[in-house]
């Protein structure tokens, strides 16, 4: 029998409190019975919610604290107020100390990045971590990074992100050599700023066995799924992510309005309900919830703060896959196979 996957949860993070975290854990346990949970938070609040679900209670432990990082706290404030004793810190610390294989939080993104970097440190040869997100496409899904962990990137950082994104894609998509593209303002080699062009040159020359460099991709390639991994710096990546989320909501509102406008439209909706349900599921952000902080000496997953139990379960699913299939080892193997990185 395979060993259990141990996941620590920031039980107090997010907009909707511990009930969502516990709901998500219960859902994820049904999908992955080999999971064990470590809840960090106010035990007086969390334990009754867990014990109301006997299966979950049987595989759960607790780390008590009443300190919570506010969703609007600045990273510097979070480090001062939450270091050592907040629910977020304890969840990350469990990974550092070998008590958990991955941590999941729906809390403040900047605080989670700052505390994770402080507690876990970055991997050798990696200057800065990146936040990688699953992206729905017409082909299925792609991985996009960085979607907001840090602003700006030089050529070596873009290469690092390409390597880390490919490692994640090899696990999530079960691919030996995922395709990787650099997000740019055009596909021609002369397009874009010098940093992106230099990163492109490095990736082509490296010719890594675990990464197939595609070249430049444009914004419309994100939805097409032209490549398995799209690499960009965090400012552009975060704007792209928020734009896509807003567009999905806009389309959903248009469809609801159109389907209720007339009796004929309502009848058409009933006749095509199966197709509309499939579209709704495809556009449901809960199905791709969870971003991975890549480049840390440990696995940390960021869940959307406003998600529900189904969405949080998706973030736990991602943590389970990353831990079970040894994301850290896969990244290190790719780094070792990359002279441009290994020699720095």
Boundaries of every domain in the chain? 1-126+295-326, 128-288
Task: Write out the two tokens for 123.
Answer: 């991997």
CATH topology of domain 128-288: Isopropylmalate Dehydrogenase (3.40.718)
pLDDT at 278: 64
Per-residue pLDDT at 62 exceeds 50: yes
What is the pLDDT at residue 28? 95
In this structure, the strands spanning 60-64 and 212-217 are unpaired
Q: Are 319 and 299 in contact (CB under 8 A)?
A: yes
- The tens digit of pLDDT for each residue in 195-222 reads 899 999 999 988 888 889 999 999 889 8
Share of residues in the chain with pLDDT > 70 (%) = 90
| pLDDT above 90 (res 182) | yes
pLDDT at 343: 44
CATH class of 1-126+295-326: alpha beta
The pLDDT score that the predictor gives to residue 281 is 62
- The stretch 7-13 carries a mean pLDDT of 95
Which pLDDT belongs to residue 275? 63
pLDDT confidence of residue 256: 74
In the prediction, which pLDDT does 1 show?
41
Q: Which pLDDT does position 344 carry in this prediction?
A: 41
Check: CB of residue 143 under 8 Å from CB of residue 169. yes
Mean pLDDT over residues 33-43, rounded? Answer: 96
Instruction: For residues 59-63, give the mean pLDDT.
Output: 96
pLDDT attached to residue 273 = 66
At 251-304, the pLDDT tens digits run 777 777 777 778 777 777 676 666 656 656 655 566 667 789 999 999 999 998
| Per-residue pLDDT at 2 | 58
Most trustworthy range by pLDDT among 18-27, 79-88, 201-210, 283-292: 18-27
Mean pLDDT of 29-57: 96
- DSSP characters over 130-162: EEEEEEE-SSSEEEEE-SSSSS---HHHHHHHH
Q: Which residue has the higher pLDDT, 38 or 328?
A: 38
| Nearest CA-CA partner of 70 in 33, 100, 108 | 108
Same fold, 1-126+295-326 and 128-288: yes
**pTM for this entry:** 0.84
Strands ordered across the beta sheet of 212-217: 60-64, 35-41, 5-10, 102-105, 300-302, 291-294, 130-136, 141-145, 229-231, 179-183, 212-217
């Amino acid at each position: 029998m395979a060993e259990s996957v141990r996941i620590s949860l920031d039980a107090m993070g997010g907009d909707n409190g511990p009930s969502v975290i516990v709901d998500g854990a219960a859902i994820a346990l049904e999908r992955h019975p080999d999971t064990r949970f470590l809840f960090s938070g106010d035990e007086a609040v969390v334990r009754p919610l867990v014990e109301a679900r006997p299966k979950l209670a049987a595989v759960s432990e607790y780390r008590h604290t009443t300190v919570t990082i506010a969703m609007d706290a600045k990273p510097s404030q979070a480090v001062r107020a939450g270091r050592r004793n907040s629910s977020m810190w304890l969840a990350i610390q469990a990974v550092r100390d070998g008590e958990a294989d991955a941590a999941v939080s729906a809390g403040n993104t900047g605080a989670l990045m700052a505390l994770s970097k402080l507690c876990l440190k970055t991997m050798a040869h990696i200057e800065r971590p990146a936040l990688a997100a699953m992206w729905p496409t017409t082909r299925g899904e792609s991985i996009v990074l960085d979607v907001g962990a840090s602003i700006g990137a030089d050529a070596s950082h873009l290469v690092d992100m390409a390597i880390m994104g490919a490692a994640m894609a090899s696990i999530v998509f079960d691919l030996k050599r995922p395709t990787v593209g650099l997000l740019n303002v055009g596909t021609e080699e002369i397009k874009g700023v010098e940093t992106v062009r230099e990163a492109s040159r490095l990736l082509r020359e490296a010719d890594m066995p675990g990464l197939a460099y595609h070249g430049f991709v444009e914004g419309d390639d994100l939805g097409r799924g032209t490549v398995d991994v799209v690499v960009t710096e965090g400012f552009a990546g975060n704007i792209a992510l928020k734009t896509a989320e807003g567009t999905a909501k806009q389309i959903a509102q248009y469809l609801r309005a159109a389907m209720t406008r007339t009796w004929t439209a309502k009848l058409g909706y009933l006749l095509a309900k199966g197709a509309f349900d499939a579209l709704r599921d495809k556009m449901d952000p809960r199905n791709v919830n969870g971003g991975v902080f890549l480049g840390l000496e440990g696995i940390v997953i960021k869940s959307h703060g406003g998600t529900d139990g189904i969405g949080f379960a998706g973030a736990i699913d991602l943590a389970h896959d990353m831990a079970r299939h040894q994301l850290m080892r896969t990244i290190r193997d790719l780094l070792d196979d990359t002279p441009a990185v290994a020699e720095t």
